[in-house]
Structure 1
Amino acid sequence: MKKQKQHDPFANLILDDEEQAIEAAFERGEYQQDPNFEETKKMLKEAAKCYLELNTSKPITIRINQLDLIKVKAKASAGNIPYQTLLGSLIHQYAEGETKLQM
């Protein structure tokens, strides 16, 4: 059985001028660890967790007129998308201020 050679993603890495300057400064010891590293790390982890939670879908229940639902399903079908996706897109556009609601 052949032993597989491990791939080194940094083997042929070409750095641009800015990256070379950063690497050189790092090698000279010009960078220091944040004295509040653990606290900062904890804060950034929490921020990442909150960001991910905000970008997840959440199921909702709404009451809609039967005729309106039939029309929405027909339009979604014509566009080859699920009607839930169409409704989600409309809600997103309204939330972002891209669509105005007339009352």
Structure 2
Amino acid sequence: MNRFDEEEQNILDSFEKGEWQSVKDEGRVKTLQSYAKATMAENQQVTLNLSSLDLGAIKAIALKKGISHENLISNILHDYVVSSSSNQL
């Protein structure tokens, strides 16, 4: 019995074929690590009141990036928290 689903097996096969490359940029590594940690953290719902102009601008930016406006807002807040935390150390 295979312990991986199809997507996981494809990733493992790709890795075993040597198709993955190590990231050498330490800043990029830290950014990706923070994204991974945030992904694994338990999500909680928050309600925000935004001006229609701000929300419209956020939706336009999200559309250009190919993500939902909710994900963009979450990413913006996460980046702010990470940068604020590292500045306080």
TM-score, normalization: structure 2?
0.48
Whichever structure has more helix as a proportion of its residues is 2
TM-score normalised to the size of structure 1?
A: 0.42
User: Which is bigger in relative contact order (C-alpha 8 A, separation at least 6)?
Assistant: 2
